[in-house]
A and B are shown apart, each in its own frame.
Chain A
């Protein structure tokens, strides 16, 4: 496939809020599917049980909210209402379960709402460890993982063994490696991997079966390096704060059109949450827990045990040779918005310029944001080297 065809396919998947792909996959494989909310879930466990992990990142600007608003006050972010809307409009019927990772109280309470509203569905809230000692948080998390793995075996009527888990871990390791390659390529040659394309590719991780997905990414990489695309005089930025409710695609395009190359980001973070490989071992559950405790990204929902707020972001900036940071956060998002002043303080110490705005997944107007980031880009071009 050409780059154009690959992106077209990804865009189709992005627009597929009825989850036709999932329905077809289930039909074809005579199997089941488990949905999950942002940010991270150990998809390996779902895969090892022969099921399809399906990321549900709200409905963006693709769905008119008719009933979902009746479940949430105006001062709560948008993603839970569009997720409820997806549920009550039967679009999640093809999912046999939903996982709610512990990232904030909205997602947490949403898990209880699902328990009440969708009684036939397996609903699991995943409490991740905030203590990172193997004997404490590690033990607790291993128990969570084993419980989930047992539940998945039961749901799909299979017996998941060590080899199944290791096979899945291997496939996800490969996938993470390709994603890293893609991100590295973009960071080195941002004009070859436009942010909107990379975003669509990442969104495909929500549904595509993992081997198919890895193959698609490989194909994109080999095709895009041959593309002739214009070099632009854009500034290089890291976009942060978009780990849960996703920015509309048009917003990502607007950022780029305002003169920014996005050279790193935290959207679709779950697919990049584990850094490096999960070990293949005799005890794969232990390996997954270990990876979580020791080799994951820093993000707002994870406790910063070292008291070194902003260090990870600064590292991202340096590694990607970014010239500035764009703090984008969903309105009313406590995790992103409470994190922000701490990170900004850290950036100030390093003299890294930044700009900030809020959005909502269904924002339709970007003119103000575009002007703001455009001015930011201009000021960096003008004063950046001084």
Chain B
């Protein structure tokens, strides 16, 4: 079936294409390039120095979607990287070792600055230490973001991050870019971010409708693309979310379900909350297992890795460094396990889900360690059906379609059985 391209899809496609084009020209245009991570990214600050960000995780997931990750991972393993570790790292290292060709087929520039935003994942630190060694010691900055171990952000935590921004990150960026810090420019970007964030919240909350007009996991990963990466703070980003929100509101008004790669979902049989990242190597096949069963994901934790906004947080031009700090501190994987469970429980209730599913990623300790306890707790607290499947982000060796399909089938049967019990009670 021919799927009609929504305006927002075209906008996003153009944004990314332009970004990668600019990256490929960065050398000749003398524009500096900052490698950094999605969680806790400082896009507004980077862009205020007119530098361009590169996100290695995005390259890795794009490589997986283009079926290149297996080779990259093999390449990294050939260079001594263990089969046990995070496959994002290996995919990135393998890509670098084979010429650093980015998702659009253009070569990515080397980093002028490695900005190690150390938020919510230990592996980030090792990853950039590896890149630092591989790229022969480019300027590198560590921004330590303390973990929300007691489920809250304390003033000391905010101050620590804000002080590092002022005293370490900004001076490093000034030096690399040769530009003086422009507080006004940063404020303008932050104000724009907040407006786009309002729209993002409305977009994700639209899944409370029945039927849900969006899939908040498989579709959700596209919706978060611009705001989690190179565009937060820009007019183009605001426009994207404005347009997307209008499209979705129209779907709500028409009582329409989500758009899938095979057209619009006509029936909504199961509403699910999903914890954990998706698999990228067989993304379409994975998604199909859900929409074929008329299952729609109404909320997901993965769409919160680059920032949680539905709790009211917004970037704030009145407190530029402090709000950037709070943003970094608030990303999903920086929450402790009890807070993650509370959040998922809230989603299950607020979005009136029939159950929740954990996609446990083999090589991601940050997400995966403790997920079996999350499963138990959520089952106890909500009484809803909990499902557990296992795959990997970018290593196709760990995506076993038959196995996952089987598990999902039993899982959907479990929801049916629960429904019957409730009806008969």
Q: Give A contacts to B, CB under 8 Å.
A: 70-73, 75-76, 80, 102-106, 108-113, 115-117, 124-125, 127, 129-131, 133, 135-137, 139-140, 143, 300-301, 303-305, 307, 309, 329, 331-335, 337-342, 344-345, 358
Given contacts A334-B126, A337-B84, contact A131 B372 (CB under 8 A): no
A333 near B144 (CB under 8 angstroms)? no
User: A110 CA to B164 CA in the complex, in Å?
Assistant: 28
Query: A112: shortest Cβ distance to chain B, in Å?
Result: 3
The 6 lowest CB-CB distance pairs between A and B, nearest first, are A112-B337, A125-B149, A338-B126, A109-B370, A337-B82, A341-B80
Query: B189: shortest Cβ distance to chain A, in Å?
Result: 25
B268 at the interface (CB under 8 A from A): no
Query: B398: shortest Cβ distance to chain A, in Å?
Result: 9
Known: A303-B142, A341-B79, A342-B129. 8 other contacts (CB 8 A): A110-B370, A112-B370, A116-B338, A117-B373, A338-B86, A338-B127, A342-B133, A358-B84
A339 near B146 (CB under 8 angstroms)? no
Mask: chain B, 212-252; 1 = CB below 8 Å from A; 0 = not: 00000000000000000000000000000000000000000
A334 near B80 (CB under 8 angstroms)? no
B89 near A71 (CB under 8 angstroms)? no
CB<8 Å pairs between A and B, sample of 22: A73-B360, A76-B369, A105-B121, A105-B365, A106-B369, A108-B122, A112-B370, A116-B338, A116-B341, A125-B150, A127-B147, A136-B164, A136-B167, A143-B156, A301-B122, A309-B132, A309-B133, A334-B126, A335-B126, A337-B85, A342-B133, A345-B133
Given contacts A76-B365, A116-B373, A334-B85, contact A127 B80 (CB under 8 A): no
Query: A154: shortest Cβ distance to chain B, in Å?
Result: 15
B142 near A131 (CB under 8 angstroms)? yes
User: Of A125, A140, A358, which is in contact with the most chain B CB atoms at under 10 Å from its CB?
Assistant: A140
A139 near B370 (CB under 8 angstroms)? no
B390 at the interface (CB under 8 A from A): yes
B side interface size, CB within 8 A: 52
Name the A residues within 8 Å of B130 (CB-CB): 338, 341-342
B287 at the interface (CB under 8 A from A): no
Given contacts A337-B84, A341-B130, contact A80 B369 (CB under 8 A): yes
User: A137 CA to B366 CA in the complex, in Å?
Assistant: 23
B336 at the interface (CB under 8 A from A): yes
Query: A25: shortest Cβ distance to chain B, in Å?
Result: 28
Query: B168: shortest Cβ distance to chain A, in Å?
Result: 7
Q: Which of B124-175 contact A (CB under 8 A)?
A: 125-127, 129-130, 132-133, 137, 140, 142, 144, 146-147, 149-150, 156, 160, 163-164, 167-168
Given contacts A72-B369, A105-B122, contact A112 B133 (CB under 8 A): no
Name the A residues within 8 Å of B150 (CB-CB): 125
Given contacts A105-B365, A112-B336, contact A130 B360 (CB under 8 A): no
| Chain B residue at smallest Cβ distance from A330 | B84
Query: A349: shortest Cβ distance to chain B, in Å?
Result: 11
User: A133 CA to B147 CA in the complex, in Å?
Assistant: 19
Set B116, B123, B144: member contacting A338, Cβ < 8 A: B123
User: A345 CA to B142 CA in the complex, in Å?
Assistant: 22
Name the A residues within 8 Å of B63 (CB-CB): none
User: A296 CA to B175 CA in the complex, in Å?
Assistant: 30
User: A232 CA to B132 CA in the complex, in Å?
Assistant: 42
Name the A residues within 8 Å of B144 (CB-CB): 129-131, 137, 303
B365 near A104 (CB under 8 angstroms)? yes
B118 at the interface (CB under 8 A from A): yes
B149 near A130 (CB under 8 angstroms)? no
Given contacts A105-B365, A112-B370, A344-B80, contact A130 B125 (CB under 8 A): yes
B122 near A75 (CB under 8 angstroms)? no
Name the A residues within 8 Å of B146 (CB-CB): 127, 140
Q: Give B contacts to A, CB under 8 Å.
A: 79-82, 84-86, 89, 116, 118, 121-123, 125-127, 129-130, 132-133, 137, 140, 142, 144, 146-147, 149-150, 156, 160, 163-164, 167-168, 336-338, 340-341, 360, 362-363, 365-366, 368-373, 377, 390
Query: A333: shortest Cβ distance to chain B, in Å?
Result: 7
Instruction: Work out how many contacts link A and B, with CB atoms closer than 8 A.
Output: 157
User: Of B116, B340, B370, B371, which is in contact with the most chain A CB atoms at under 10 Å from its CB?
Assistant: B370
User: A338 CA to B128 CA in the complex, in Å?
Assistant: 11
Query: B303: shortest Cβ distance to chain A, in Å?
Result: 20
Name the A residues within 8 Å of B127 (CB-CB): 338
Given contacts A105-B121, A143-B156, contact A113 B163 (CB under 8 A): no
Set A73, A115, A304, A338: member contacting B368, Cβ < 8 A: A73
Name the B residues within 8 Å of A112 (CB-CB): 149, 336-338, 340, 370
A75 near B372 (CB under 8 angstroms)? no
Query: A73: shortest Cβ distance to chain B, in Å?
Result: 6
Given contacts A110-B370, A305-B142, A331-B84, contact A105 B123 (CB under 8 A): yes
B168 near A73 (CB under 8 angstroms)? no
Name the B residues within 8 Å of A116 (CB-CB): 337-338, 341, 373, 377
| Chain B residue at smallest Cβ distance from A84 | B373
Given contacts A73-B372, A108-B147, A112-B370, contact A334 B79 (CB under 8 A): no
User: A212 CA to B163 CA in the complex, in Å?
Assistant: 43
Name the B residues within 8 Å of A342 (CB-CB): 129-130, 133
Name the B residues within 8 Å of A115 (CB-CB): 336-338
B369 near A110 (CB under 8 angstroms)? yes
A139 near B160 (CB under 8 angstroms)? yes
| Chain B residue at smallest Cβ distance from A304 | B129
B369 near A340 (CB under 8 angstroms)? no
Name the A residues within 8 Å of B122 (CB-CB): 103-105, 108, 301, 334-335
Name the A residues within 8 Å of B116 (CB-CB): 303
A106 near B365 (CB under 8 angstroms)? yes
Set B81, B86, B132, B372: member contacting A72, Cβ < 8 A: B372
| Chain A residue at smallest Cβ distance from B377 | A116
User: A129 CA to B118 CA in the complex, in Å?
Assistant: 11
Query: B245: shortest Cβ distance to chain A, in Å?
Result: 34
User: A102 CA to B149 CA in the complex, in Å?
Assistant: 10
Query: A83: shortest Cβ distance to chain B, in Å?
Result: 12
A307 near B132 (CB under 8 angstroms)? yes
B168 near A136 (CB under 8 angstroms)? yes
| Chain A residue at smallest Cβ distance from B388 | A73
A76 near B368 (CB under 8 angstroms)? yes
User: A138 CA to B372 CA in the complex, in Å?
Assistant: 36
Name the B residues within 8 Å of A341 (CB-CB): 79-81, 130
B133 near A136 (CB under 8 angstroms)? no
Query: A357: shortest Cβ distance to chain B, in Å?
Result: 11
Query: A61: shortest Cβ distance to chain B, in Å?
Result: 20
User: A51 CA to B86 CA in the complex, in Å?
Assistant: 39
User: A71 CA to B132 CA in the complex, in Å?
Assistant: 36
Query: B194: shortest Cβ distance to chain A, in Å?
Result: 27
User: Of A104, A333, A339, A340, which is in contact with the most chain B CB atoms at under 10 Å from its CB?
Assistant: A104
Name the A residues within 8 Å of B377 (CB-CB): 116
Query: A142: shortest Cβ distance to chain B, in Å?
Result: 10
Query: A255: shortest Cβ distance to chain B, in Å?
Result: 20
User: A318 CA to B310 CA in the complex, in Å?
Assistant: 55
User: A338 CA to B163 CA in the complex, in Å?
Assistant: 29
Given contacts A130-B125, A334-B126, A335-B126, contact A102 B369 (CB under 8 A): no
Name the A residues within 8 Å of B129 (CB-CB): 303-304, 307, 309, 342
User: Of A70, A137, A300, A338, which is in contact with the most chain B CB atoms at under 10 Å from its CB?
Assistant: A338
